[in-house]
Amino acid sequence: MPNTPVAILDKSVPAEALRRFEKIAPLAAPASFPAVATQFRRQKMLLAAVLARQAGVSVRTIQRWRHVYKIGGLAALAKIARADKGRPRFNRAGADFLLRIALSNPQSGYLRPTAASVHRAYLSEASWRRAHAGCKVAGDFERVKYSAWLDGAGRLRQDATMPEISYETVRIWLRRIPEVAGFLLRSDPNTPKGANGKEK
């Protein structure tokens, strides 16, 4: 029998289980959320989609967590391995920013960006974009910097916003830059070749 929402007060429950339960609570324990249950009566897929958007995960993940909770309760939620473990979790705007900031500094010597400095810059940029989404961008520098993310009226589009990511995600992503750069060099027909047909 699954644990009831009251069980979230139990300090022995792992934090990860509580975090997952909070994201599925209206779906997993509808009696505790009567207004939501009434609004989404017979529309569990729609509720799952709303919860997924709020949690920043897929609908499938929400459904899987609900199923696991239904069968094994909070303890079972704690044992789920993250499907995206080891993969950076960010959107196109975040990926674009990380690539630009990482490649804007030489990758050798004292100017090499550290994961900590990149993470700080990312969080600062993410905060700025969230605060200015939908606003007209003023100043020539900003208009050039955000030109790819502006609508026809010069406002910062919503898809320019970047989700918050952890320091660990930045570290994982920075380790993968050489792989990406190597692939791009190998696939570029204009890369100079040596006598043995390999890149110089």
DSSP assignment letter at 11: T
- What's the CA gap between 153 and 49, in Å, rounded? 31
**What b/e string do you get for 50-59 counting C-beta neighbours within 10 Å, with b at 16 or more?**
bbbeebebee
* Dihedral angle, C-alpha 74, 79, 80, 84, nearest 10 °: 130
- What's the CA gap between 159 and 149, in Å, rounded? 8
Question: How open is the CA angle 58-122-165, to the nearest 5 degrees?
Answer: 30
- Which pLDDT belongs to residue 149? 92
- Which pLDDT belongs to residue 197? 44
pLDDT tens, residue by residue, 12-52 = 677 888 888 999 999 888 888 888 888 888 888 899 888 98
- Which pLDDT belongs to residue 160? 92
- Which pLDDT belongs to residue 117? 84
- Which pLDDT belongs to residue 189? 53
200 residues of the chain, pLDDT tens digit each? 344 454 444 556 778 888 889 999 998 888 888 888 888 888 888 998 889 888 887 888 888 888 888 888 888 888 776 544 555 566 888 888 887 877 775 544 445 577 888 888 888 999 999 999 999 988 889 889 899 999 999 999 999 999 888 777 787 777 777 655 454 455 555 544 444 444 44
Q: How many CA atoms lie within 13 A of 151 on its CB side?
A: 10
Question: What is the model's pTM?
Answer: 0.47
The long-range contacts involving 115-119, CB below 8 angstroms and separated by at least 24 positions, are: 115/167, 115/170, 115/171, 115/174, 116/167, 118/170, 118/174, 119/165, 119/167, 119/170
Q: How many CA atoms lie within 13 A of 64 on its CB side?
A: 11
Residue type, 20: R
